[in-house]
Amino acid sequence: MKTKNLNVVNNKLQLGKYPLESLASKYGTPLYVYDQLGIESKMDIFEDAFRSSKFKTCLVYASKAFLAPYFCNILNNRSWYQDATSIGDIYVMLESGFDASRIVYHGNNKKDSELEFAVKCGVGRIVVDNINELNRLIKICQKLNQKVDTLFRVNPGIEAHTHYYIQTSLLSSKFGESIFDLDLIKKIVEVYKHNEYVSLKGFHSHIGSQISDEKSFVENAKVMCEFTSNVSSLCNYPLTELNLGGGFGIKYLENDPDVNLKHMLSSIIETVEASGLSLEKLYIEPGRSVVGDSGLTLYTASYVKKTYGGKNYLFVDGGMTDNIRPALYNAAYTVENASNVSGEKDLKVDVVGRCCESGDIVAKDTYINDVKENDCIVVYSTGAYCHSMSSNYNSMLKPAVIFVDDDIHVVSRREELSDLMKLYEK
């Protein structure tokens, strides 16, 4: 799980020319650290493998994984798209100078004020979740006298073998309308056909997250191509775009399955090309797979507490406020002592934080070598969803975020105590 530019020098972990210990010392811990060369290398794979001579391919970064103006600029410069799931996402992107025409706006329960904001800003595509939202969007467009291009989210009913909380295409999912409810689908297309303000460019689907088996993606591509072709023919309505969502997995533990991203992407392209579907644009929405395994979290070790019940706890100065995923759905991580890489990893511990919760666990039943007070502890593959889902629970301060290539870029400063009072009224 080491990032592309991470190596061992003098028994200590170093990112490029910067020892992790020195980064922790200068910027404080907890600290989110991104290997920028690793991220851009992953982006290269997507750009090289997800391309076709038959239609335009659009790489849409799923910003819920990690969003910051600095990274928006990287995406903008490489002509990537971004998806947004709230008015806040759109605002950050626009304030960063991101091209509004390359924003894809998602959400299963968008407010009218959010839809109006998106329409006024000229976002490239609004992904409509249901017929109720479609009718509300039409009224907004009529009021503003402004036309919008949309995709409509459908639920293909494909089961992705991942955690239940991050499966998104089960027939009981809150997202989209089922492809098996053809009467409703025909009704939706009729609404589009008889309204000049909204244009249906195609359908959107997303089957889940952290998927390592390409069979699920290939099956989704087959189903969605067939569904698009059938609806277009049945309703006599041209559909020129298809969005297959994201969900590409990464490795968190040594025994996690390898993810052959290049082959996975090529298989999706081959499947869509072989379907015979006439498309102008094919979208996918990678997020975790772009930034996840190029991100690290650094902590400072306090000590190992050995309990009467036989459990060993390694106390660190972070926890569930900077990484809620282990508490939320038992996410597992690889941990290493960045201050002392060599030696047998024969000490079994739960790495835990400082919050007043028994579930405040960074890594459970993990093995690590000898740890001394103030050692720098690194947790791998924390680049996705950790910063995005961080909180001020227990009035903890949010960590800084840095990107590292040849230089160090402070992407988000560490919160200070005064920041905690910004929203309160005395």
Which residue do the tokens 């459990």 mark?
311
Dist CA 46 CA 59 (whole Å): 8
Q: How far apart are CA 66 and CA 303, in angstroms?
A: 31
End-to-end CA distance of the chain: 47
Total length of the chain: 426
Rounded to the nearest 10 degrees, what angle do helices 182-193 and 131-144 cross at?
Answer: 10
Q: Which residue type sits at 82?
A: Q
Instruction: Give, as one character, the DSSP assignment of residue 413.
Output: P
Q: Which residues contact 90 (CB under 8 A, 6 or more apart)?
A: 84, 103, 105, 117, 118, 121, 123
Beta bridge partners of 301: 316
Tokens, residue 226: 């067939």
Tokens of 136: 């509300």
- What backbone torsions phi and psi does residue 265 show, to the nearest 5 degrees? -65, -45
Tell me the two tokens of residue 8.
């061992």
Say what angle helices 131-144 and 112-121 make with each other, to 10 degrees: 50
Which of 58, 141, 225, 356 is flagged as catalytic? 356
Residue 158 one-letter amino acid: I
62: helix, coil or strand?
Answer: strand
Write the CB contacts of 130 (distance below 8 Å, at least 6 apart in sequence): 108, 176, 177
Active site residue 72: no
CB 81 within 8 Å of CB 106: no
Q: Work out whether the CA dihedral 136, 139, 143, 145 comes out positive or negative.
A: positive
Phi and psi at residue 275, to the nearest 5°? -70, -20
**Catalytic sites, residue numbers:** 356
